[in-house]
Amino acid sequence: MTRTATVALIVGAIALGATAAYAAAAPQAVAQAQTQQAQQTPKGWSYELENGQRVPKGNRVTNADGSWREEVRQGNCVTIKEKSAAGEYKETRQCSPH
**Mean pLDDT calculated for residue range 41-61:** 81
CB 81 within 8 A of CB 91: yes
pLDDT of residue 82: 96
**Mean pLDDT calculated for residue range 37-43:** 66
* Number of separate domains in the chain: 1
Whether residue 77 lies inside any domain: the answer is yes
Whether residue 71 lies inside any domain: the answer is yes
Q: Residue 40: pLDDT above 60?
A: yes
CB 57 within 8 A of CB 70: no
Whether residue 45 lies inside any domain: the answer is no
pLDDT of residue 80: 94
Whether residue 94 lies inside any domain: the answer is yes
| Alpha helices per DSSP H over 1-98 | 2-38
Q: Residue 37: pLDDT above 60?
A: no
pTM above 0.85, yes or no: no
Q: Residue 73: pLDDT above 80?
A: yes
Whether residue 95 lies inside any domain: the answer is yes
pLDDT of residue 24: 67
**Owning domain of residue 88:** 57-98
Whether residue 74 lies inside any domain: the answer is yes
Whether residue 40 lies inside any domain: the answer is no
pLDDT of residue 39: 62
Q: Residue 86: pLDDT above 80?
A: yes
Whether residue 2 lies inside any domain: the answer is no
